[in-house]
Amino acid sequence: MRFSRLVLVGVLLVVALWTLLSGRCGRDTRRDIAVEEGRVVVTNLTGQRWSDIDVWLNTWYRAQAPALEPKQRLEIPLRVFVNGHGQHFEAHLRGPVGIEVTARAADGSAITLTWGEGRRR
């Protein structure tokens, strides 16, 4: 009986240690691009400030932001996106299928993030 209890405790310790070491506890589950409740959410998960941000929706519609600080979220309602003809995105006709975010990091490097199909050129 004592032996089986020791084996059980050993197995439980191994499982607990494996869970901690495999990263299942405390893993960052945030996404850099998400579509939530009628808006596009872009999160700067880097440690650098971003500038000159362009967010392209379904290739033709664009929204812009001047800057995004580290760990900050940029929330853009779908109706804010505008195409080159000045027409606003109409989500009831077709939902988001592709998003591309471009920006410039504080160190000057280019940042490109995609969601779904991204942006066709």
**Residues recorded for the chain:** 121
Domains: count for the chain: 1
Rounded to a whole number, what is the distance in angstroms from the first to the last CA of the chain?
69
The answer to whether residue 50 sits within a structural domain is yes
The pLDDT of residue 6 is: 59
Tokens encoding 83: 């195409």
The domain in which residue 63 lies consists of 31-116
Q: Is residue 71 part of a domain?
A: yes
- Domain assignment present for residue 107? The answer is yes
Q: Is residue 13 part of a domain?
A: no
Measuring CA to CA, which residue among 71, 76, 74, 75 is closest to residue 44? 71
What the block records as the tokens of 64 is 């812009």
Read off the CATH number of the domain in which 60 is found.
2.60.40.2890
The Cα 90–Cα 109 span in angstroms is: 33
Counting residues of the chain whose pLDDT is more than 70, the rounded percentage is: 74
What is the number of alpha carbons within 13 Å of residue 14 lying toward its C-beta?
6
Asked, for residue 23, whether it belongs to a domain, the answer is: no
Query: Does residue 121 belong to any structural domain of this protein?
Result: no
Q: Using one digit for the tens of pLDDT, what is the confidence trace for 9-41?
A: 555 555 554 554 444 444 445 689 999 999 999
* Residue 69, pLDDT above cutoff 70: yes
